[in-house]
Structure 1
Amino acid sequence: DEPPGPVGDGIAVISMACRFPGGADDPEALWQLLAEGRDAVTDVPPGRWNTDGLHDPDPEAAGTAYSLRGGYLTGIDRFDAPFFGISPREAEAMDPQQRLLLQTAWETVERAGIVPGTLDGSATGVYVGLYDSGYLAAAGLDRLDGHVGTGSASSVASGRIAYSLGLQGPAVTVDTACSSSLVALHLAARALADGTCDLALAGGATLLVTPRGHVEFSRLRGLSPSGRCSPFSADADGVVWAEGCGLVLLKRLADARRDGDRVLAVIKGSAVNQDGRSQGLSAPSGPAQERVLRAALDAAGLRPGDLDHVETHGTGTRLGDPIEGRALARVVGPDRPAGRPRATGAPKSQPGH
């Protein structure tokens, strides 16, 4: 066997599964949502939080939010615990993000035409991007029954998938805020390229199980008062929080071709960096974004002129979008042929951020 090459040789996406707002419960439905331009932002689903006294249009009102709209999933309380060999008591203590990831991971493997049980003992990795949802964070000491600790631990989100499927590759959970899933994907691709694993699940999940994100960003005046996410638009007035889960199954491209897998996409290169100092802890840096874009292009062996479409962060904020847009323009804009514009997209405009 030849040793695995660099990421630039190609990492294949051979399967994907997802749950996103607007009924986008599989990749086909997500594409349909985006193609039709449907707005998936709604009011808070009944029974999600106690919204009494939570809404106040005054951004200075403590403990409230001036908008509660978001991209919400339905049925996050539904989970087939016996299917995964989990007791009802343990399932209740599990962060719904863990439940959602477990279900989506199983579906991702099945959609690749793989019987999940055949991966038991394999060198398959799990790389998950996740943030602390706050589930059971206020639980009293008398509720700590041995399941709450594992049920709320971010580290267990990836570990539980590996445990349930019997996977023996790396199991890693990362939290780099908005970039968590992409950083997970970057790490998974690197692990495949260097031979650490032969197959890898990568992606992430976010659920709004408490209203703290809405309340916190109301104090920062970063939440959209209109309840509309408008990336790169003159109407952009802030972020709209949303829920979702997405996972892909990755394999070295040469191995996927050898095994006759359906290749949905190819990762040619990726890069990760940090902004360093900027005008504030949560403010992006244009020069840093330019550097990471150039590093990703170099890793993929591409030139800026090779790109015809760029999917962006595109939060819909008046601070972040111009910085991101200018960084893209500086990297991929110069010397672009007339009549061949480079398209820029941000799916957040429909399901939210």
Structure 2
Amino acid sequence: MTELRQWLVERLARLCATEADRIDVDRPFREYGLTSRNLVALSGQLAQFLGRAVAPTIIWEHPTVRRLTDHLDGTAQPASKLRHGEAATTVRPGETADRALAVVGIGCRLPGGISTPDGLWEFLRAGGDAVRRVPEDRWEAYRLASPAHATVLDRTTQFGGFLDDIDGFDAEFFGISPAESAEMDPQQRMFLEVAWESLEHAGIPADTLAGSRTGVFVGASGDDFARRRMEDLQGINGWSLPGTTLSVIANRLSYVLDLCGPSLTVDTACSSSLVALHLAAQSLLTGESELAIVGGVNVLLSPGGTVYADQASASSPTGRCRPFDADADGIVRGEGCVSVVLKRYGDAVRDGDRVLSLVRATAMNQDGRSNGLTAPSPAAQEALLAQVYASAGIPSTAVAYVEAHGTGTRLGDPIEAGALGNVLGRDRPQAAPLLIGSVKSNLGHLEAAAGLVGLVKNILALHHGRIPPTLHYTRPNPAIELTGLGMEVVSRLTEWPAGDGERVAGVSSFGIGGTNAHAVLSDLPRPVRP
């Protein structure tokens, strides 16, 4: 065993109060029960032992003793190739147009009273901030449940991106009885309305889709309503199960509109809606669907998720999401719904649709056994980025802006920034850095709907030729070498960088269980081969 490996094994054994011979060099550090704070401290001690600086995220990049020491000894293969494979083969000239998808409609219901795409753009352009205190009656039932519950709530984070109205619903419009409507998860109600509005925005009458191969793909993971409703055993009735089941969020739209394409709700936590987009893209490209409605929805009916985030030291105690900033101190949860309507680009041209932007490529992967189930993997993020841009046939220097996952956490931001910089930021002209930002600073983290909110922000930015500011950014996180990575955070309304070709943007999402997704957008329609 090398001196470095021996030192690391002994240091880890002391931290875990165990014997050195009980340390498995192939077991992730996090599985020894160490906190993120412990591991960041360990990276600092490692720097002292080596007599040189090491990144505080190095333990997440190489999450076992063997992989870390192999890396530091210079004997390891690049992690992204070793564990996640080579990037996908670049598409051949002419193929990109055949695989491009057109976004033809948008619907949204978001914090800050936002209910239209134009309203969202004006809000983002002006640097709007929709984070506020929890509505007074939102969690009152939990407070009244017991003095113990009230005590927990008193010390729970009180900030978030909350909607003004989650109860309003025109059940009669959708042919739903009052009795059934009362048993429906607000996420079902909201998605029905927002999906309908996205079809209106696309100029597609909903009643013309009956019997069509229209697919519905929705990202959702919150089950607050179901947990509360199904605990009332005496109140369960014939509408309770379909009203509370996540799968029915997608299925109900298919039922109401008589759609015959795939219909599914996707749950990969915070990457859910971008994974739903990826599945919709595959369905369109294979001909399984001729039209796709893609959505994401999240409602914060219970304080449970916030209590968890607090206990995991993930919440911002100041109630502000500060992506990539030196004062970033955690996430701020949010709620809302977004829907987009997609077609194959050639079909959109044939049908005379207004094309808002193109989806050039999508991809998803998994972290595998990273440094803990909920810990991000830098290698997986880099591999995903390399794969999706190779698939799109777009060189890294052509990407002007990436709407990052950007949660404003001390660990997640440096890992994501490092992956973006290593794949898309390096080797760029100093005057043309990769621009990055995050809509979570405006609305909070919409969890299962977050990826699609970022997608819509990019669509609007491409259309208007300007990138909205990321709020609360004043100075870079010292763990992120933005200049060295060839990147810059957009902190004010910024004109889209000038260039000779199309405008290209990306959007990333990462799920707490390790499922990652990325989408590539552009503004210019590509020629379609006859």
Q: Is 1:134–2:224 an aligned residue pair? A: yes
**What residue is the counterpart of 1:69 in the other structure?**
159
Q: Is 1:188–2:280 an aligned residue pair? A: yes
Kindly indicate whether the alpha-carbon contact (under 8 Å) linking 2:223 and 2:246 is maintained by their aligned counterparts in 1. no
Q: Amino acid of the residue matched to residue 82 of structure 1?
A: E
Alignment of 1:26-175 (within 5 A): 26-50=116-140, 65-138=155-228, 139-175=231-267
Change in 2 beyond 3 A, CA 1:212/1:65 = farther
Higher RCO structure, 1 or 2 (CA under 8 Å, sep 6+):
1
Between the aligned partners of 1:340 and 1:15, the Cα distance in structure 2 is: 31
TM-score of the pair, normalised by structure 1 = 0.94
Change in 2 beyond 3 A, CA 1:53/1:154 = closer
Kindly indicate whether the alpha-carbon contact (under 8 Å) linking 1:65 and 1:214 is maintained by their aligned counterparts in 2. no
- How far does residue 144 in structure 1 lie from its aligned partner after superposition? 1.3
Q: Is 1:300–2:389 an aligned residue pair? A: no
Between the aligned partners of 2:413 and 2:111, the Cα distance in structure 1 is: 23
Between the aligned partners of 2:393 and 2:331, the Cα distance in structure 1 is: 34
Q: Is 1:254–2:254 an aligned residue pair? A: no
Q: Amino acid of the residue matched to residue 354 of structure 2?
A: R
Between the aligned partners of 2:237 and 2:435, the Cα distance in structure 1 is: 52
TM-score of the pair, normalised by structure 2 = 0.63
Between the aligned partners of 1:228 and 1:52, the Cα distance in structure 2 is: 24
- SS of 2:278's partner is helix
- How far does residue 173 in structure 1 lie from its aligned partner after superposition? 0.7
1:205-260 Cα shifts (integer Å, max 9, x gaps): 00001111111111111111000011111111001000010010000000101111
Kindly indicate whether the alpha-carbon contact (under 8 Å) linking 1:7 and 1:299 is maintained by their aligned counterparts in 2. no
- SS of 2:227's partner is coil
1:237-293 Cα shifts (integer Å, max 9, x gaps): 001000010010000000101111000010111110011122221110111000001
Between the aligned partners of 1:220 and 1:113, the Cα distance in structure 2 is: 45
State the identity as a percent.
50
Stretches of structure 1 that go unaligned for 5 or more consecutive residues are 55-60
- SS of 1:188's partner is helix
- How far does residue 46 in structure 1 lie from its aligned partner after superposition? 2.9
Kindly indicate whether the alpha-carbon contact (under 8 Å) linking 1:130 and 1:175 is maintained by their aligned counterparts in 2. yes
Between the aligned partners of 1:297 and 1:319, the Cα distance in structure 2 is: 25
Kindly indicate whether the alpha-carbon contact (under 8 Å) linking 1:314 and 1:346 is maintained by their aligned counterparts in 2. yes
- How far does residue 51 in structure 1 lie from its aligned partner after superposition? 7.6
- SS of 1:268's partner is strand
Q: Matched residue pairs, number?
A: 343
- SS of 2:242's partner is helix
Kindly indicate whether the alpha-carbon contact (under 8 Å) linking 2:96 and 2:360 is maintained by their aligned counterparts in 1. no
**What residue is the counterpart of 2:325 in the other structure?**
233
1:313-339 Cα shifts (integer Å, max 9, x gaps): 000100101000000000012211231
Q: Amino acid of the residue matched to residue 162 of structure 1?
A: S
Between the aligned partners of 1:330 and 1:46, the Cα distance in structure 2 is: 45
Candidates 364, 369, 378, aligned match of 1:272: 364
Between the aligned partners of 1:293 and 1:65, the Cα distance in structure 2 is: 39
Aligned-residue Cα RMSD (Å) equals 1.6
- SS of 2:208's partner is helix
Kindly indicate whether the alpha-carbon contact (under 8 Å) linking 1:17 and 1:104 is maintained by their aligned counterparts in 2. yes
Kindly indicate whether the alpha-carbon contact (under 8 Å) linking 2:213 and 2:259 is maintained by their aligned counterparts in 1. yes
Candidates 427, 433, 436, aligned match of 1:341: 433
- How far does residue 66 in structure 1 lie from its aligned partner after superposition? 3.3
Between the aligned partners of 1:223 and 1:134, the Cα distance in structure 2 is: 19
Kindly indicate whether the alpha-carbon contact (under 8 Å) linking 2:322 and 2:408 is maintained by their aligned counterparts in 1. yes
Q: Is 1:289–2:374 an aligned residue pair? A: no
**What residue is the counterpart of 2:408 in the other structure?**
316
**What residue is the counterpart of 1:224 in the other structure?**
316
Kindly indicate whether the alpha-carbon contact (under 8 Å) linking 1:6 and 1:194 is maintained by their aligned counterparts in 2. no
Kindly indicate whether the alpha-carbon contact (under 8 Å) linking 2:246 and 2:265 is maintained by their aligned counterparts in 1. yes
Between the aligned partners of 1:245 and 1:7, the Cα distance in structure 2 is: 30
Between the aligned partners of 2:217 and 2:434, the Cα distance in structure 1 is: 31
Q: Amino acid of the residue matched to residue 314 of structure 1?
A: G
Q: Amino acid of the residue matched to residue 299 of structure 1?
A: S
Q: Amino acid of the residue matched to residue 99 of structure 2?
A: D
Between the aligned partners of 1:204 and 1:8, the Cα distance in structure 2 is: 26
1:149-191 Cα shifts (integer Å, max 9, x gaps): 0011011110000001110000011001111010000100110
Between the aligned partners of 1:267 and 1:328, the Cα distance in structure 2 is: 19
Between the aligned partners of 1:39 and 1:72, the Cα distance in structure 2 is: 11
- After TM superposition, the runs of 4+ consecutive aligned structure 1 residues lying more than 2 A away are 5-9, 51-54, 61-66
Structure with greater Cα Rg: 2
- SS of 1:313's partner is coil
Q: Is 1:212–2:269 an aligned residue pair? A: no
